[in-house]
Amino acid sequence: MDTLPLVLTVGLLALAGFFAGKHKARLASTQVRSHSRPHYHGYLVALWTLIPALLVVMVWSFASESVITRLVVAELPARIQQMPASEKSLFTNEFKNLANEIDVKKHIPTEAIKSSDSTAVAYQAAQRYIQLTRLSQQLKAAVTLSLAALLIWFTLHRVQPQLKARNSVETIIKGLMIVSASIAILTTVGIVFSVLFEALAFFRHVPPGEFLFGTHWSPQTAIRADQVGGSGSFGAIPLLTGTLLISAIALVVAVPLGLFSAIYLAEYASPGIRTVAKPVMEVLAGIPTVVYGFFAALTVAPFIRETAESFGISASSESALAAGLVMGIMIIPFVSSLSDDVISAVPAILRDGSYALGATKSETIRKVVIPAALPGIVGGVLLAASRAIGETMIVVMAAGLAAKLTLNPLDSVTTITTQIVTLLTGDQAFDSPKTLAAFALGLGLFVVTLTLNILSLHVVRKYREQYE
């Protein structure tokens, strides 16, 4: 039995268990008042069937392939057993491929088996492999279904009016939620550690001091020993300044525009305008960044260059300014939406208090509403900043790839994220410094955005304390 029909069968068994449990509980509770209502008994039977059976299916499916491979390899002739590890794994792959082929074609070339060369051995191994796999499938189905049946019988047996089925279901559901949360957390931890270890591998090639404080970035290294190529220099400072320059330009655009539109929407706009304008502004955040990218590259960047040249200033056709401006437009919703929410959340009674002291509307906004909402606004700005720092596509298209150490917004610069993309695309050995540098950059980026996120969380929490 294949895995999918097996899982469906287990599901059906659990469903049957649910109705059986419910029915039995209902019958049992006609005389005595039951602790839990019948459907909780049903859920308990179903969950007790479903979860262990599915766990068995999962573990078996993950483990079976390596167990079977090991079994087959153990039966191979001695001359193959004595081969070096790399050749042995090559042979293992060969018979596995053959097994797949045979499985698909449903045809076993018998004449090949009769010959006595290594192909014949491989065919024999493949056959053995297929045989064992089928056996494992059958065993898996048998074990799972009998386990499920046993569990249904056992849990149905336990259905009694005094059984605290409701509490047990509660506990099981709590457990499922803990498992879900753990998966999310463990994935994050796993990603962080994999990035960390690869970055440490990079620092074996390049000293951390050179990476952190070096001012020259040129990651081209020779792929082969006899190739003429750059020796590679990995100073991250130009990337960091590029990132910060573009993010700063983006924030200079986004913070005033976002904040003022938030104030307008929250304080001045009529409800009609607000219901239209707010979603429209939030659409800005939904436009794919690649669309912003070609807008920046094809419209904004040439416009900036022409304008600069008309003033007699030389400008690169790919400039930090173009990328920053467009990115600023993109992150407006992050500032405006969050600020709008916190400004609207400032209690009306504070505004009334200010009006009652003879303040005008703009005085009230400047002196009471904005200070009261400031922590939330700062949170929004920090969120927008981490979005800007992580942005890749607009920079690739509009700001170029040249790692220049410059603060001139009309020059072309590059950012950490853009360099990660270029480092990991193209042919390169995985353990070369060039590839590993991407992980070191990723780690750096992670540290920066994590710091910003922690900062904004902290600020937002402080704001909440003030009003609750």
Partner 1 sequence: MTTEALPNTDPSAESAALQQARENNRAALDVTVDKTVGQPFVENPKISTRHVHVFYGDKPAIKDISLDIGRNQVLAMIGPSGCGKSTFLRCLNRMNDTIPTCRVEGDFRLDGEDIYAPGQDPVLLRSRVGMVFQKPNPFPKSIYDNVAYGVRLHGLAKNRAELDEIVEKSLRRAGLFDEVKDDLHKPGTGLSGGQQQRLCIARTIAIDPEVILMDEPTSALDPIATALIEELMIELSENYTIAIVTHSMQQAARVSNRTAYFHMGKLVEVNDTDRIFTTPQHPLTENYITGRFG
Contacts with partner 1 by CB under 8 A lie at: 347, 349-360, 363, 367-368, 371-372, 466
Between 204 and 462, name the residue whose CB sits nearer to partner 1.
462
Coil/strand/helix, residue 217:
strand
Between 82 and 466, name the residue whose CB sits nearer to partner 1.
466
Q: Could you tell me the smallest distance in angstroms from the CB atom of residue 413 to partner 1? A: 41
User: Counting beta carbons within 10 angstroms of the beta carbon of residue 94, is it exposed (0 to 12), middle (13 to 18) or buried (19 or more)?
Assistant: middle
Q: Could you tell me the smallest distance in angstroms from the CB atom of residue 274 to partner 1? A: 13
Q: Could you tell me the smallest distance in angstroms from the CB atom of residue 268 to partner 1? A: 12
Coil/strand/helix, residue 1:
coil
DSSP class per residue in 27-91: HHTTTSPPSS-HHHHHHHHHHHHHHHHHHHHHHHHHHHHHHHHHHHHHHS-HHHHTS-HHHHHHH
Between 87 and 363, name the residue whose CB sits nearer to partner 1.
363
Q: Could you tell me the smallest distance in angstroms from the CB atom of residue 269 to partner 1? A: 12
Between 104 and 356, name the residue whose CB sits nearer to partner 1.
356
The C-alpha atoms of residue 38 and residue 156 are separated, in whole angstroms, by: 12
The C-alpha atoms of residue 400 and residue 168 are separated, in whole angstroms, by: 60
Between 2 and 468, name the residue whose CB sits nearer to partner 1.
468
- Beta-bridged to residue 10, according to DSSP, are none
Between 83 and 350, name the residue whose CB sits nearer to partner 1.
350
Crossing angle of helices 237-263/416-424, nearest 10°?
A: 130
Q: Could you tell me the smallest distance in angstroms from the CB atom of residue 266 to partner 1? A: 14
Q: Could you tell me the smallest distance in angstroms from the CB atom of residue 358 to partner 1? A: 3
Between 180 and 275, name the residue whose CB sits nearer to partner 1.
275
Give residues with Cβ within 8 angstroms of 32, minimum separation 6: 161
Between 264 and 294, name the residue whose CB sits nearer to partner 1.
264
Indicate left, alpha or beta for 295 from its phi (over 0: left) and psi (-120 to 50: alpha): alpha
Between 78 and 356, name the residue whose CB sits nearer to partner 1.
356
Q: Could you tell me the smallest distance in angstroms from the CB atom of residue 357 to partner 1? A: 4
Q: Give φ, ψ of 234 to 5 degrees.
A: -120, 55
Give residues with Cβ within 8 angstroms of 407, minimum separation 6: 241, 245
Q: Give φ, ψ of 218 to 5 degrees.
A: -155, 90
Closest alpha carbon to 259 in 366, 120, 137: 366
Burial 401-421 (b: 16+ CB within 10 A, else e): eebbbbeebbbbbbbbbbbbe
Q: Could you tell me the smallest distance in angstroms from the CB atom of residue 31 to partner 1? A: 27
Indicate left, alpha or beta for 314 from its phi (over 0: left) and psi (-120 to 50: alpha): beta
Q: Could you tell me the smallest distance in angstroms from the CB atom of residue 452 to partner 1? A: 25
Between 87 and 352, name the residue whose CB sits nearer to partner 1.
352
Q: Could you tell me the smallest distance in angstroms from the CB atom of residue 361 to partner 1? A: 9
Q: Could you tell me the smallest distance in angstroms from the CB atom of residue 343 to partner 1? A: 14
Apex 277 CA angle, 274 and 281, nearest 5 = 135
The count of C-alpha atoms lying within 13 angstroms of the C-alpha of 16, restricted to the half-sphere facing its C-beta, is: 11
Between 181 and 350, name the residue whose CB sits nearer to partner 1.
350
Between 264 and 446, name the residue whose CB sits nearer to partner 1.
264
Q: Could you tell me the smallest distance in angstroms from the CB atom of residue 372 to partner 1? A: 5
Helix (H) or strand (E) holding 221: none
The C-alpha atoms of residue 284 and residue 253 are separated, in whole angstroms, by: 14
The C-alpha atoms of residue 201 and residue 140 are separated, in whole angstroms, by: 41
